[in-house]
Structure 1
């Protein structure tokens, strides 16, 4: 039984034992499980694992589960994507023998992360578009999984990075209504919803459509608060601060937003964002 995997994942996501237990069990139940290995019911453990984005196979690994190690590495890469460590994410992906994996979901997860990392780092926008095209016109032609809306946003990011805002608008414009109806049953789906909300909100800010941008970013913050996931909050607060500055200048609200952004960036140890916010704030003193 791999209890350490459970503990590491909880800490990685910033959950306290009490926060993780909320609505499922008591804090004492988790404490006894983590510290003493006291077994809990399968029903409760399944719910806790779902909240952490784990499967029971992660806690009770078997040799037959050959994909579990790949899934774990992809989770690491997605976390690097969220914290803008694009080189690290791509490095993890290069270490995987993804062609030998037959699971379609794993393939789409790989393509989603690779496409975003390539587009956001401006390494290879054409290759990023090809990654998303494989999802939309190959693995998920019926557009029934979360990877299709992720691919739409990825296409938008790619064209935005290439300076083609009209094409980017075509893809981003599909997202606001879809984002409202996207299910957020576990941590992984929450992460993906936050990713789509942030980059869509970021795009509309770049288009100076501040009202739409603010609506999407506030939805991100609300979802983050509801699900106790903080990793995108700093970036959202930072963009909201920039939106406020572009409309009203250096107001009290601007100062509060930039302060909150810096605090969350430090809390999440997002080094790149800390530097970015610090430089941005100094230019507006």
Structure 2
């Protein structure tokens, strides 16, 4: 975990964080509520019913879950979104099930990884939303997810991504209020992103780097939330003689591998 620059004590930062949450009406969900969102209180459910899946509204923190209804506006929760691939398609007798991340805010489960990185800093007094800026380096969805989560939590964000990424992505980041730093190249130019991150770390003390490759919160979120979902799905579909042979993940930062640890 990267060292966080602080001008004051954690207790003072926590007071700033609590004040920001009160001002913006922010309620931070627990991992337990992300695993079982059906237990959210009635007032939150009413707010969710009037809010789009990817709206920049703090209530959408409760939609950082695998169990959103597959709708874009005003949806509630379900038992999870998954699909089983038939043997006629896979060519193997093993039952293969895939979990679907499309129905997260922003269309990607990376909002969960970003939540797992930022929130522990906020609640431990290591990130001051009134002074610090969250830096999200990524070629893709982690950057977008971080800006989304940061916006919902009242934090300023800096998005660092390659200049050749889609114009839609840049428009959305601008809409979400992020400072945008574009680096040379495209999706394969990861080195250039982290070269820029090094410059930010050395020259901008107000910036806190959230590097998904080194932040333990990435794996922690997947362990507690994604792991629990996979366990539930297996219990739901398994025949008495079935056994769970493996969890397979095509990883980027490897956070999803913690699901297998669960």
Structure 1 length as normaliser, TM-score? 0.29
Report which structure shows greater RCO (CA 8 Å, sep ≥6).
2
More helix by share: 1
More strand by share: 2
Structure 2 length as normaliser, TM-score? 0.31
